Amino acid sequence: MREPKLDPDRPRSTLHHVESARAGDESAWDRLVVKIGEEVDRLVGPRDLPPQHDRDDLLQAVAFGVFRSIDRFEAHHDDSFRAYVRSIVRHRVTDLWRRARAQARRGDALPKFGPDDSELPEFCLDREDDRARRPISLIEAQEIEERLRAVTSQLTPRHQDVLRLREDEGLDYEKIAPLVGLENAATARGLYAYAKNRRAALMRNYFDGTAE
């Protein structure tokens, strides 16, 4: 019996992109990053992240987590990939909130948080996908943080300072500007945007295997 002919205009399934990405197809990985972004947008709103973290920061960390563990992903159907991504999103968001709470306990310039996980978004409390399969371990999460730090270290000292003052210390642009030798808040805002975009580009180079 002859195999049915594939319709070239029919959208490829997510699992097809997973298998192609495993085989080294960079365009398939780009399509997966789009799928990951859709899941991040579906789950996470602006209020679901602690101060000084945004959707782009989360997407970079989640995409890196998928990239690191995709060879161990057990593909069954498209929904299983979405569950896999959701598990990583929950892990990363939970980690961001716990880090923010730890910073608040140290007296850093962040709002005060509760003593437990009561401030976590609801989707972080549903662990069904994690029980079915936990795709990212504590060690892998640490590797993600190390890679982000390594990528950030490739930026100029001024760009690193702007990222640190904005994301780690929670300062506004008016306070950042004089600390890094800039004339006004608008320039500090632009420098921060450039630093974030440059960091994202370096992470994409790592995904593509072109990072040094």
Ranges for all domains in the chain classified under CATH 1.10.10: 155-212
Report helix, strand or coil for 74: coil
Q: Band of the pLDDT at 28, cuts 50, 70, 90? A: confident
181 or 1: which carries more pLDDT confidence?
Answer: 181
pTM: 0.51
Give the Å distances, CA to CA, from 169 to 45, 90, 163.
22, 24, 9
* pLDDT at position 10 over 50: no
Architecture of domain 155-212: Orthogonal Bundle (1.10)
Contacts of 26 (CB under 8 A, 6+ apart): 208
Burial of 198 per CB tally in 10 Å (0-12, 13-18, 19+): middle
Contacts of 169 (CB under 8 A, 6+ apart): 108, 109
* pLDDT at position 129 over 60: no
